[in-house]
Structures are given as C-alpha cells and as structure tokens.
Amino acid sequence: MDITGASAIVTGGASGLGEATSRLLAEKGMKVVVADLGHQQEKGDALAKEIGGLFVAADVTDTDQVQAAVDAAVEMGPLKALVNCAGIGWASRTIGKNGEPHDLDIFRRVIEINLVGTFNCIRLAASAMNSNEGDADGCRGAIVNTASVAAYDGQIGQAAYSASKGGVVGMTLTIARDLGAAGIRVNTIAPGLIDTPIYGEGEHAEAFKAKLGESVLFPRRLGVASEFASLALELITNSYINAQDIRVDGGIRMPPK
C-alpha cells in the first residue's frame, strides 16, 4: 500500500512505542496525527512539530475526542493508517495476600482503555478509511493494534492486563473479516519486554533492564521501540499481511512471575 502523502493516527503517540512509530511513519512520507492524553500536550506538540504532524489531545475512550483526531487526519490527507499504541498496565492478584478481592473498578478501567478504547479508535478510523479510493487491490487502509505477550503467557497479577490484551488478539481476525469488504486490513503486534520510559532511568534502572534481558531467548536484551515501529510499518505497507497476531519478543515465554 502506497502511504506517501497519506495521513496516519498513532494513539499513545507522544512517547514509547507510539513516538517511535510516529517518527518512522513521518519519515516514510505520512502526515501523522500524534494522539495522546492532554497531559502529554507539551511533548506531543514538540514531536508533531519535529515530524511535520499534528498533536491532538485524545482519550481513546472518548468518542468525540477520537473523532476529532480522525477529522484532523483527514484534513491532512486520506487516512490510510491507524496504529493503536495507547494503553495502561496494572498489577494486582485476583485476591490479595490477606484474601481481599481484586478492585473491580480497576479491572474495568484497564479493559475500558486497552480493549474498548482500541475498538473505539478502530471503528471511527475505519469509517473514514471507507471513503478512500482503493488501490489496485482495492485496499483503502490498514490498522495495527498493540497487544502483549501477556495475552498468551500472562503473569501472576496480570489478570486485567492479560484479559484486555487477549481481547485485542481475539478480535483481530473478526474485525479483519468485518473490514475486508471495505478493503481495510487489520493486524496486531504482541510486544514482549520493550525498553520504554516505564522502566525509569539511571544505574539502577539499567541494571534491572539487563537482568530482565537475560530471560529473553535471543537476542538476550530488551527490545527497542524502533523494532516495534519497523514491524508496524511493514504491516501497513505490505498488502498481503492481514488478520495476523505477531509476537515481537525475542522468543521469550513469560514465567508465572
């Protein structure tokens, strides 16, 4: 799929996986809407200015805000790509050490952002993509979701996170089938241990990351955001990849804890 001059939306685009993806798509000729929460405005504006895109404050669970991001993208060019990177994590056992039950509101919140929010962005972006003129294959756009290896080997305390990411994996084929008639491809990336700001900075953080990397099959290190971004680009541009869930994890299989 030719992406030159087309627009893209990257949710969670102001940092981590989203930032790396925003930079790469812009480098390859796309006009990128960096969509992220309002508190990321300063960072998002700086990134958007650097890559020739636009920052839009958007909570993925808010339909009006997501639609505003879609509208902004369409104004810059035909919307041909959506990369869903927005998400949150949470660690809590089903029952705690004293037998107290998992907070149900927290479970709902993780599902609402990671799963419902992902679908919210898909449905609104796909509606706009449907208006594009198809290419030789009839392709009008491509969507890339972010799951996690926790969808397959969730660890102790990851019930909410694993459920949300398992849901993203589970709906990939169905949505790809739904959108096939519109010429829109849908794929999902399931990252493993990726070096993002979540691990912090400094000597202690570096030692912790090095220790984590020892559990990876090969190469024995954490992944980097650019490795995620390169796959996202391939899933957008390669017209024959559809309905796939692809692990980017160095071959790791997570232990129970």
Residues taking part in catalysis:
161
Name the β-bridge partners of 57: 36
Q: What are phi and psi of 180, to 5 degrees?
A: -60, -40
Amino acid identity of residue 21, one-letter, is: T
User: What is the dihedral angle through the alpha carbons of 93, 162, 88, 54, rounded to the nearest 10 degrees?
Assistant: 180
Q: Which of 57, 39, 122, 56 is nearest to 83 (CA)?
A: 122
- Confirm if 28 and 233 have CB atoms less than 8 A apart: yes
Residue with tokens 């990671």: 114
Angular region, 195: left φ>0, alpha ψ -120 to 50, beta rest: beta
Reading the block at residue 167, the tokens are 């849901």
Instruction: State the pairing for strand pair 7-11/31-36.
Output: parallel
- Confirm if 35 and 107 have CB atoms less than 8 A apart: no
The DSSP code sequence of 170-222 is HHHHHHHHHHHTTTEEEEEEEE-SEE-GGG-SSHHHHHHHHHHHTTSSSSSS-
